[in-house]
Structure 1
Amino acid sequence: MTTLMDAAEVHRRLAAGERTVLLDVRWVLGRADGHDEYLAGHLPGAVYVDLPTELADPAQPGLGRHPLPSQERFQASARRWGINDGDTVVAYDNSGSMAAARAWWMLRNAGIESVYLLDGGLTAWRAAGFGMETGDRDVVPGSVNLAEAGMPIITEEQASRWHSKGVLLDARAGERYRGEVEPIDPKAGHIPGAVSAPTTLNLEADGRFLPAAALRTAFADLGIDGSCDVAVYCGSGVTAAHQIAALEIAGFQAALFPGSFSQWSQHDANPVVVGSGPFGGPGVVDEIPLSSGSTGTGASTGSSVEA
């Protein structure tokens, strides 16, 4: 499947009147101004998607900070966005597709094959000199029928032993993986056996994804060669979808741990390790206090979109 669509192709489709549903998924952890930014300027015809309420259920200790919504709730949202069966959908944001990838993954999981990420997002659209719209817009409700379980998912228990059968990638910033800082979850560090793979390393400086060959090389350095099973987690299952998109571009399939570290770290029985290696440096600990610089509301240093 093709994962990305560039700005020129999106513009061509719109100019040609080809049915294209554009989803504006501007959202950053710890901020609530995504809709205001959408109103100030968005792609022509794009509808705003509120990640916390439409791409997630309310936080639950047993399921993490952004649990996947029920199929019924998600289908209602997708219809509100105006999606019909057979539509082409393109999701974008202004943060390197870190939030838009959540919508991409969920729609792919729901059986929509013709769903893409706008490579480079709003930055690429503006750089190409294409026009913008302002304000809100009325959307004709769609009638899409969503399925479920189209993408592989692993459970908390499977995550605990994934290193014995394949590669478990931690998509958070390196300092969170190493346990140097944890601004939002109750423990600092990572799941034993996980390998650090920050999503920011998937991108060019302009927010576009690296070429497929470069991504393949990067993932090969992490032990991924197509012969092993791969799973991904992040803070709450949002940016892990970005890693899965990057893996797909590189030619690999990966499973998502939806609850991610926000679910794992809520349970005292789950071990957490700190340090730069899969099994840490100091060893396994039951709990490491939050960093003294933690606010509990934002993302880690240098990773303001991470979730």
Structure 2
Amino acid sequence: MDTLMDVSALHARMASGQRTVLLDVRWALGDPEGRAHYLEGHIPGAVYVDLPTELAEPAEPARGRHPLPSRDKFQAAARRWGISADDVVVAHDDAGNTSAARLWWMLRNAGFRSVCLLDGGLAAWRQAGLPLQAGPVEAVPGNVTLAGGGMGVIDAAQAADWANRGVLLDARAGERYRGEIEPVDPRAGHIPGAVSAPTAGNLDDAGRFLPAERLRLRFSRLGVDAATPTAVYCGSGVTAAHEIAALEIAGIPAALFPGSFSEWSNDVSRPVATGAEPGGAAAG
């Protein structure tokens, strides 16, 4: 299935009665009111997905701020959202899919291929003048069976050496990469050797993904193409999934470091680099 679905295609599916599971993953760092925003208005029929409790385990230093949940926990949540084996799932949020991509990646990793992102998210739906629904939606439970291993994953040891064999992309904002600020993690900076590739650069001004050819150009300027071993991290493994979606649109496979910088920076034995260059000024 394609990585993206546009609003017109989704609306046509809904109008024709084709089975579609809509999942609203509104979450943002510093804004814990995703569910409240959802209840005020969402795409009709959309079920709310709570990222901190349904797409992650509780934070722990050795695994980062948003550790991936167990297969059984994730499968139970997916069934609760109404997903069955033959469904088409469309995930979205209200921030350019920067949080919804976490769900997209997790379902893909769990072997569920019929999942895509609504390009432009809720903003694109509103811009099209389509109606919203207030209040909660309770899904009829589904029966999907999930597995694992569907997407590439690396750990901290592999991240430490990745620049010697390919390109490690840091999807956080540039100022966090450079170590100028760090609002949540214990140390500021980046994994030595990583290249800055802020997630915001994947989107146009309307919050839609750039066309494939522009994404390919963006990543080629960072030293990445389809033949380059590529891995991505961010703060806690959320927006890195968005970068992996952008890379997929560009035809480039990439692996995720789930613990990301929140795991890395909690281990004082691992060096952190600062500055604009991949090597930066390293400190223990």
> TM-score, normalised on structure 1?
0.92
- Match for residue 69 of structure 1? 69
| Matched residue, 1:284 | 282
1:131 is displaced (CA, Å) by: 1.3
Q: What secondary structure does 1:168 align onto?
A: strand
Q: CA deviation at 1:180?
A: 0.5
Aligned to 1:269: 269
Give the equivalent residue in structure 2 for 1:302: none
State the shift of 1:149 in Å.
1.0
Shift of 1:254: 0.2
The letter for the 1-side match of 2:283 is V
In the TM superposition, what is the alpha-carbon distance from 1:104 to its structure 2 partner? 0.3
Separation in 1, partners of 2:172, 2:76 = 30
Deviations 1:12-68 (CA, angstroms, capped at 9, x unpaired)? 000100010000000011221111111111011100000000000000110000000
Q: What is the aligned partner in structure 2 of residue 289 from structure 1? A: none
C-alpha separation in 2, matches of 1:113 and 1:227:
23
Residue 166, structure 1, aligned to residue 166, structure 2:
yes
Kept in 1, the 8 Å contact 2:98–2:242? The answer is yes
Separation in structure 2 between the aligned mates of residue 57 and residue 222 of structure 1, nearest angstrom: 32
Task: Report Cα offsets for 1:144-199 as digits up to 9, x if no partner.
Answer: 00011100000110000000000000000000000000011000000000000000
Q: Which residue of 1 aligns with 2:5?
A: 5
CA distance in 2, matches of 1:44, 1:228: 41
Corresponding residue number in structure 2 for 1:119: 119
1:39 aligns with 2:39: yes
Alignment of 1:1-307 (within 5 A): 1-280=1-280, 283-286=281-284
SS in 2 for 1:273: strand
Deviation for aligned residue 1:226: 1.8
Q: Residue by residue, what CA displacement relative to the aligned partner does 1:237-295 show, whole Å, maximum 9, x if unpaired?
A: 00000000000000100000000000000001000010100001xx2112xxxxxxxxx
CA contact (8 A) 2:96 2:121 kept: yes
Q: SS at 1:162's partner residue?
A: helix
Q: Distance in 2 between matches of 1:137 and 1:114?
A: 22
Q: Distance in 2 between the 1:105 and 1:95 partners?
A: 17
Equivalent pairs counted in the alignment come to 284
Moved more, 253-262 or 123-132: 123-132
Amino acid at match of 1:207: G
Which whole-Å CA distance do the structure 2 matches of 1:213 and 1:26 have between them? 28
Structure 1 residue 225: deviation in Å?
Answer: 2.0
Partner Cα distance (1:87, 1:60) in 2: 34
Partner letter of residue 28 of structure 2?
V
1: CA distance, partners of 2:103 / 2:13: 20
AA paired with 2:115? V
The 2-side partners of 1:237 and 1:160 are apart by 16
Residues of 2 paired with 1:161 and 1:65: CA distance? 22
Q: CA RMSD of the aligned region, Å?
A: 0.6
Q: Output one character per residue of 1:66-122: Cα deviation in whole Å (capped at 9) or x when no partner.
A: 000000000000000000001100000000100000000000111111100000000
Distance apart, 1:137 and its partner CA: 1.9
Distance in 2, Cα, partners of 1:158 & 1:199: 22
Q: Partners in 2 of 1:213 and 1:254 — Cα distance?
A: 17
Question: Which SS does the other structure have where 2:244 is aligned?
Answer: helix
How far, CA to CA, are the matches of 1:52 and 1:225 in structure 2?
Answer: 33
4+ residue stretches of structure 1 with deviation over 6 A?
A: none
Taking the aligned partners of 1:214 and 1:165, their CA distance within structure 2 comes to: 25
Q: Where does the alignment leave 5 or more consecutive residues of structure 1 unmatched?
A: 287-307
- In 2: Cα distance, 1:175 partner to 1:138 partner: 40
Structure 2: 5+ residue stretches without partners: none
Distance (whole Å) between structure 2 residues aligned to residue 224 and residue 48 of structure 1: 35
